[in-house]
Amino acid sequence: MPILPTKILVKDAENVHLILDDISRTCFNTLGVVDLSSGQFSIDGGLNDIRAKLYDEDGKLVIGFHCRYEKDMEYFEQKIQRYLNDSYSEYKNMRAIYLVKKRT
């Protein structure tokens, strides 16, 4: 699965589910995130076109995003970027619990 360039640095591991649940509801109009085990999460309502995956980078917890098809990378990257940049999240304080890790 191709990996999107944007990653989210999680400030507190206890907030992973909250962050992913908000992305799932806000960006994909789902009922919420589904934990698939092994650090992978379905965030698109079971379509399996994009998944979130947890990583350890230099001792820090990072959320990365994988999409099923390379042709969809830009579409999903824009959705994630719009969520992070426009703050149209239902939670006004989401920025307090994560940082954008990188964009290449």
Q: List the 40-42 sheet strands across, edge first.
A: 34-37, 40-42, 50-57, 60-67, 7-10, 98-102
What are the E-state strand segments in the chain? 7-10, 34-37, 40-42, 50-57, 60-67, 98-102
* pLDDT band (50, 70, 90) for residue 60: confident
Confidence at residue 17, expressed as pLDDT on a 0 to 100 scale: 92
Task: Please indicate, yes or no, if residue 45 is contained in any of the structural domains.
Answer: yes
In total, how many domains does the chain have?
A: 1
Task: Please indicate, yes or no, if residue 25 is contained in any of the structural domains.
Answer: yes
Average pLDDT, the chain: 84
Task: Please indicate, yes or no, if residue 42 is contained in any of the structural domains.
Answer: yes
Q: What's the average model confidence in pLDDT over 46-57?
A: 94
pTM over cut 0.85: no
Question: Is the predicted pLDDT of residue 93 greater than 90, yes or no?
Answer: no
Domain containing residue 21: 7-102
Q: What is the CA radius of gyration of the chain?
A: 12
Question: Is the predicted pLDDT of residue 89 greater than 50, yes or no?
Answer: no
Task: Please indicate, yes or no, if residue 73 is contained in any of the structural domains.
Answer: yes
Confidence at residue 9, expressed as pLDDT on a 0 to 100 scale: 85
Task: Please indicate, yes or no, if residue 1 is contained in any of the structural domains.
Answer: no
Task: Please indicate, yes or no, if residue 2 is contained in any of the structural domains.
Answer: no
Question: Is the predicted pLDDT of residue 103 greater than 80, yes or no?
Answer: no
